């Protein structure tokens, strides 16, 4: 079986590496020439990517349609690796198509050797295509799940919160320590312990901190510290804004409605006179119900 991986970015290079470790040969093809203006070199590139049995598109969402349109292989199996793009992106000229979405953060600087614990979410047009996709994914991992478009979209957003936004919090923490003698490495045991806890506890049950316990004095002290910081990689007022709003979200989820106003008073008092006071917003009532009305 001849497999082409279209896209030599973080996902494509890692897939190429992972299949190679399993003894599966794949051809790694740069996607950029396929989106360039047509030329003699482009003609050669088009010919180079034809004739494969499987095409795995590991390109940015905004380039996916354009790259797919360049491949003329109606009998091949076409797969994209996006967490948010629909299967319909392939069109009628590629009847054998589907999705093979590996839920992990990838980097070209660090190749992942062991994929056995990485979840893979798949979908296809028919049972035969799904079986083929499952078999291909099984080469790398045993954690394979069928997922609808709705499920993958939610998963992708959840991943942004769990990975991208949490990493932003690490950057902010490093910034807060900027003018101290304390290195960021001092936070690593705490970060590791927090991640470890959610392997055995629901995130709701693992929540700690001053907002969770409504500790007035600590909240006011923290906001005072942030208000006194000099602007660096981030504006101090933005850090106050983030602290206040995340604290509001925590207390809204944690405490009954008749006890939420007290923490808003705390935040208002703490931010009185600071640059971030204009960011204060009243707590929003939580909607209740099942999808899609929640």
Q: Residue 92 class from Cβ within 10 Å (0-12 exposed, 13-18 middle, 19+ buried)?
A: exposed
Q: How far apart are the first and last CA of the chain?
A: 46
Do 238 and 252 lie in one domain? The reply is yes
Separation between Cα atoms, residue 173 and residue 159, nearest integer Å: 20
Number of domains the chain is built from: 2
Residues 34-81 pLDDT 10s: 766 544 444 345 555 778 999 999 999 999 999 999 999 999 999 999
Separation between Cα atoms, residue 191 and residue 207, nearest integer Å: 13
Give the residue carrying structure tokens 């490495």: 185
Q: Residue 26 class from Cβ within 10 Å (0-12 exposed, 13-18 middle, 19+ buried)?
A: buried
Do 83 and 187 lie in one domain? The reply is no
Do 171 and 76 lie in one domain? The reply is no
pLDDT band of 260, cuts 50, 70, 90: low
Q: Is 114 within a domain? A: yes
Strand partners, 26: 3
DSSP structure string for 33-89:
GGGSPP-HHHHHHHHHT-S-SEEEE-S-HHHHHHHHHH---TTSEEEE--SSS-GGG
Do 222 and 274 lie in one domain? The reply is yes
CB 5, CB 27: distance < 8 Å? yes
Q: Which domain holds residue 50?
A: 3-147
Q: Is 292 within a domain? A: no
Domain boundary among 104, 121, 147: 147
Do 211 and 245 lie in one domain? The reply is yes
Question: How high is the pLDDT of residue 32?
Answer: 79
Q: What is the pTM of this model?
A: 0.78
- DSSP tag of 112: -
Separation between Cα atoms, residue 44 and residue 68, nearest integer Å: 17
Closest C-alpha to 176, from 248, 230, 241: 230
Do 18 and 116 lie in one domain? The reply is yes
Residue 15: CATH number of its domain: 3.40.50.720
Do 185 and 266 lie in one domain? The reply is yes
Question: How high is the pLDDT of residue 74?
Answer: 94
Residues 121-178 pLDDT 10s: 999 989 999 999 999 999 999 999 999 999 999 999 999 999 999 999 999 999 999 9
């Amino acid at each position: 079986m001849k497999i082409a991986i279209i896209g030599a970015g973080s996902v494509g290079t890692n897939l190429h590496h992972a299949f190679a470790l399993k003894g599966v040969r794949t051809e790694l093809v740069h996607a950029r020439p396929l989106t360039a203006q047509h030329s003699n070199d482009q003609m050669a590139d088009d010919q180079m990517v034809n004739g494969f049995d499987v095409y795995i598109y590991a390109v940015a969402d905004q380039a996916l349609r354009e790259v797919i349109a360049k491949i003329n292989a109606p009998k091949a199996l076409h797969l994209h690796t996006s967490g948010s793009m629909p299967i319909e992106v392939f069109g009628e000229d590629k009847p054998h198509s589907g999705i093979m979405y590996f839920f992990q953060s990838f980097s070209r600087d660090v190749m992942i050797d062991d994929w056995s614990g990485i979840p893979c979410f798949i979908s296809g047009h028919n049972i035969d295509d799904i079986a083929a996709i499952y078999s291909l994914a099984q080469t790398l991992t045993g954690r394979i799940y069928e997922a609808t478009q709705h499920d993958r979209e939610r998963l992708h957003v959840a991943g942004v919160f769990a990975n991208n936004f949490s990493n932003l919090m690490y950057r902010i923490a490093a910034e807060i320590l900027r003018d101290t003698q304390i290195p960021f490495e001092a936070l690593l045991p705490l970060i590791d312990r927090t991640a470890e806890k959610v392997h055995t506890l629901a995130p709701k049950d693992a929540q700690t901190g001053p907002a969770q316990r409504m500790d007035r004095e600590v909240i006011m002290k923290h906001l005072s510290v942030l208000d006194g910081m000099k602007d660096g990689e981030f504006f101090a007022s933005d850090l106050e804004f983030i602290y206040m709003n995340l604290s509001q979200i925590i207390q809204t989820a944690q405490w009954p409605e008749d006890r939420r106003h007290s923490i808003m008073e705390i935040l208002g008092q703490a931010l009185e006179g600071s640059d971030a006071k204009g960011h204060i917003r009243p707590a929003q009532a939580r909607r209740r119900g099942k999808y899609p009305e929640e």
